[in-house]
Structure 1
Amino acid sequence: MPTLLITGFGPFPGAPYNPTVKLVRALARLRRPALAGTTIVTHIFTTSYAAVDRDLPALIAEYKPDALLMFGLHGRARAIRIETRARNALALLPDASGKVLGRGVIAPEAPSARRMPMPAQRLLAAARETRLPAVLSRDAGRYLCNYLCWRAVDSGVRLAAFVHVPKVARFARPSRAGSNRPFTATDLARVGETMLVALHAAVNRT
């Protein structure tokens, strides 16, 4: 039976509340017939380069996941963003520990971008089943989310998907298609569930 690793990030400068923490915890409690027998492992990264470099290899070595489903916060997003590329780029911004890597690229001798190993169209279709706005994105930024994408490609896991989620209105009613109402934690749990099931199905097809 497959093992799926689901990750999120904690708070970071400018984002004292990161909704991916609650999202990952909700997915850890998920019980669906389609996931019967599947081992689901969850992890919340401290939003630091050191945590990604330390924790991701350790998680993969211990659990040997068949797929990664990673979530991060995009404060300006208006839709669920399924990232299709990891950019070889770094922002000169401090992480949650105050560290700045002090260079403009992740790997100086590597290409400018690398494709994420995932069934992008299947995940997009799954997300849109919820009638929430969802798009494919070619720009994961230059901060920790993009850095994790790059390291996930390096990891050799067969399927690795990264999803940027918007900020949430913590006390609003759930969003609807065509509505300008902000996303809620319930919305994120719905879309996360559909994508998790789709990724699980993709694992079983490969």
Structure 2
Amino acid sequence: MDSQSSCVVVTGFGPFRQHLVNSSWEAVKELSKLGLGNDLGVELRILQLPVDYKEVKKRVTRIWEDLQPQLAVHVGVDPAAKAIFLEQCGKNRGYRDADIRGFRPEHGLCLPDGPEVIASGVSMKAVSRRARVEGVEVAFSRDAGRYVCDYTYYLSLHHGNGCAALIHIPPLSRWLPASLLGKALQVIIQEMLEETEKARAQGLVHGKLGLGDFSQRELTGGLLL
């Protein structure tokens, strides 16, 4: 991957189940109106992904092969969430729920020979502490839920050598309109880009991390927060 790439790709998801309007894509569209800030000198590219394991695998591969982004940020909806969650890692197994086409990955796996866990080179805990968004809490998570969002994240981390992120946002509501969620994405991604540069400078964004890279406390304590 070209470390000098000035492209940031942000994806949202299309409809699934009862979510005929997916807040993730609505928020990403709002982000595209705002941009990431001229001073960052990066091009923002947005893409909608279907809630479809097979199609996601193709599109994530193309993102990294064709666009070679500095960072890929995937945004998904968590129907039960009241806060925005920044996911630290993607998991390789446990994908049992069917996608919009009724498909489930064979043996519940992303990659048959992949590591159990791949962690982002971005410290989501640090970003969650610094990101201040009026009207919504920003929190940190280690469990992205084993559905198409988590599947997408794992694949993107694999192809991007850790230069990826997953943000789970709540559904749209009167208190959380798309405009607010779009602004929240702008603030959070700006912080992620700063964190990525720090990690790059320290040589941390360079490869895939497995279970051995986590302390026992991290593996057994609080998966969600």
TM-score range, shorter chain: 0.7 to 0.9
Aligned-partner Cα distance in 1 for 2:58–2:130: 32
Residues paired across the two proteins, number:
194
Structure 2, unpaired ranges of 5+: 201-225
CA 138–203 in structure 1, closer or farther in 2 if over 3 Å, else same: closer
* TM-score, L = length of structure 1: 0.84
CA 80–120 in structure 1, closer or farther in 2 if over 3 Å, else same: same
Deviations 1:86-119 (A, max 9, x none): 1222332221122122423333444432212213
Structure 1, unpaired ranges of 5+: 175-182
* TM-score, L = length of structure 2: 0.78
* SS of residue in 2 equivalent to 1:68: strand
Which stretches of structure 1, 4 residues or longer, exceed 6 Å deviation after superposition? none
Amino acid in structure 1 at the alignment position of 2:18: G
Sequence identity (%): 23
- Are positions 1:200 and 2:208 aligned together? no
Aligned-partner Cα distance in 2 for 1:94–1:14: 14
Equivalent position of 2:213 in the other structure: none
Equivalent position of 2:42 in the other structure: 38
Residue 200 of structure 1: CA displacement? 2.8
Q: Mean alpha-carbon deviation: is it higher for 90-99 or for 45-54?
A: 90-99
Amino acid in structure 1 at the alignment position of 2:6: P
- Are positions 1:69 and 2:69 aligned together? no
Deviations 1:117-161 (A, max 9, x none): 213134213433435212111110111011011101111255211
RMSD over aligned Cα atoms? 2.0
- Tell whether the 8 Å contact from 2:29 to 2:182 is kept in structure 1 after alignment: no
Equivalent position of 1:48 in the other structure: 52
CA 69–197 in structure 1, closer or farther in 2 if over 3 Å, else same: same
Residue 74 of structure 1: CA displacement? 0.7
Q: In structure 2, which of residues 180, 192, 196 is the aligned counterpart of residue 187 of structure 1?
A: 180
CA 155–165 in structure 1, closer or farther in 2 if over 3 Å, else same: same
